[in-house]
Chain A
Amino acid sequence: MELVLLTIAISILIPIFHILLINIFRIDGLHIKLMFVSFLLYIFVGIIITQVIFQGSNEIIMYYITSLSTSVFMCLFYMEAFSMIARGFSMRIVTDLFIQKSLSPEKLMEDYADGKGINWMLEKRINGIENLNLITKQSNNITLSSNYSFFIAYISLNFKKILKLGRGG
């Protein structure tokens, strides 16, 4: 129990490492990679702590598994929170309304994300999957471009069908 609580407590190191690394490198677009570096550093600290506290114990492997599981849990939790700050749609709407004090829906779409406009949001998603080589853009046409994208679509469509989830998105 102590190990789980300790691993949760030291998860405060994830944002600390992440913010430190971002402010050391100061390169746009490195945020996600640096987040994974922070995860590795945090997991490493967790393993070291487990080694120091439970050295010589017969159940040391069990403690490693506990530490690792708790660390992965906290990393995924952090990933979700960071994604909400960096990409959250509702969060951006609320922030835009706060900055502009009051906005009509039309003006909100026009001014979305510091004046980039709502279409920029869809463009950003399309560019994101293009950068992952899942699609290709040629003039006005967008095409699925790798076996991996076919696999994702197949899995996703069947997952939604089995759980009766509707189209989503």
Chain B
Amino acid sequence: MADVVGSVPGNAPLLDVRNLRIEFPTRRGTLLAVDDVSFDIAAGEVLGVVGESGAGKSLTGNAIIGLLEPPGRIADGEIRLEGRRIDNLPYEEMRKVRGAQVGAIFQDPLTSLNPLYSVGRQLVETIQTHLPMSAGQARTRAIDLLKEVGIPGAEQRIDHYPHQFSGGMRQRVVIALALCAGPRLIVADEPTTALDVSIQAQVIALLKRLCRDHGTAVMLVTHDMGVIAETADRVAVMYAGRIAEIGPVREVIKQARHPYTEGLMGSIPSLGHRTERLTQIDGTMPRLTEIPQGCAFNPRCRHRGRRCLVERPDLMPAGAGRAACWLHDPKGVGGAVTGELVDA
């Protein structure tokens, strides 16, 4: 990929994250929360990022929109949007990128709206910040946006305050806010987690439609595999700050290549098959202070070999995607390991 800032080769990805490392300096030493994460998103593509709490998925999303909470900081790597580096921009510059080129949707729609301003005022303010529009034009656009995200009676609702909307409607307003300046990429962090299932389906359908109509790319961060299965084109599975597996969504769900993904899929109760017991991965994800040597998953892995205890696997081709597991290396996992796996 060309390294010239500002020039976008035709086949370059919209978002390109390379060797991203996020660390937290603490009194007891520096914690590495995201370790060497690389992925890209093409225009119009939905990339799902899944993982358990603490896997580093939200941090990665926050790093992209430049909203890492201190003391967290990007220690290494780069993030490029349409070929332009955005991870080292000064605050004011980043403010212009955020909103104009990258939109954000957060989990809780009530906390991402200002309760003291009407939604119209918040929309108009955002539109005028990023687009050269008069107040009247901005208001018309705000009404159009509210209509587009499916809020009935948009002309009246625009003057209502966030508390007058239900949870599902509020999340629609947040989506409208993210769309204000027509961004190329939306980072959606658990956009449906706080919503009921029936509302969840509505919001997912809306996100998909907007994506198709505008060619907006979405980075969808969630722990809900069902949402990913329906929405994403590709999915990245994160474990202990690293990507364990990345590939086309169908492939990852039906034919997981990483033992962790396999266990994760098996542990989701499904309507298709009722079993006596759910597949369970014993143990829990290691804390950041106690990430084991070698493959971070090795204490819980049934396929582990001696190599997994000492050597950390990077992403390597596996099926239609890539997985960070020595099982897919020609040299394999090494000899058998004696000793028990961790217990729950």
Q: Do A and B come from one complex?
A: no
